[in-house]
Amino acid sequence: MSIWQKCMVKIKYFHSFPTDEERCKKWICSIQRKDLKITSHMRVCSRHFKSEDVKEPSTPKGRRLLKKGAVPTLFQWNNYSAPEPLQRRKASTPVDEDPAPVEYDYCSVPELAAVDIALE
C-alpha cells in the first residue's frame, strides 16, 4: 500500500493548500514531491502537521483549522513516524449504532382514544 493510500485510509480530515503564494511555496518545498501540480481539489492530510499547528474548534460541530503559518513538516522521507491521527469527534447522538429492534404486533387493533370515544 502506498503512502498516499495509507493517508486516505487512516486520516479523517484534510487541509487545502493556502491561497497565499508565499505560504503555498513553503508547503510545496516541505512536501518534496517531484512534479507536484497544485489543483483546487488537492489536500494535505492532517498527519503531516504537528499537533500544535492545529486549532481545535470552539463548538462541537466546528472544524479543525490550521493555525496561521502552519506548514506540513511530518513525512516519511524525514523519518517521522506519526502516531495515529486525530479522529473526527463523534456526534453527541450516535448515528452508526442501530437502535434496539422494535417488535410490532400487526394483527392487533389499537384501543380507542378518548377523542375517538367522544366522537362516537
Of residues 116 and 63, the one with the higher pLDDT is 63
In tens, the pLDDT along 57-90 reads 888 788 888 998 999 988 877 777 655 555 555 5
Domain boundaries, the chain: 3-78
Percent of the chain past pLDDT 90, that is, above it, reads 6
Do residues 3 and 31 lie in contact, with contact meaning Cβ atoms separated by under 8 Å? no
Do residues 71 and 30 lie in contact, with contact meaning Cβ atoms separated by under 8 Å? yes
Q: Is pLDDT of 5 > 70?
A: no
Which residues does residue 45 pair with via DSSP β-bridges, in sequence order?
A: 14
H runs (alpha helix) in the chain? 3-10, 21-31, 114-119
Least confident range from 16-20, 25-29, 111-115: namely 111-115
In tens, the pLDDT along 22-41 reads 999 999 988 888 888 888 88
Q: Is pLDDT of 15 > 80?
A: yes
Amino acid at 92: S
Cell numbers 511530518 label which residue?
74
Do residues 28 and 38 lie in contact, with contact meaning Cβ atoms separated by under 8 Å? yes
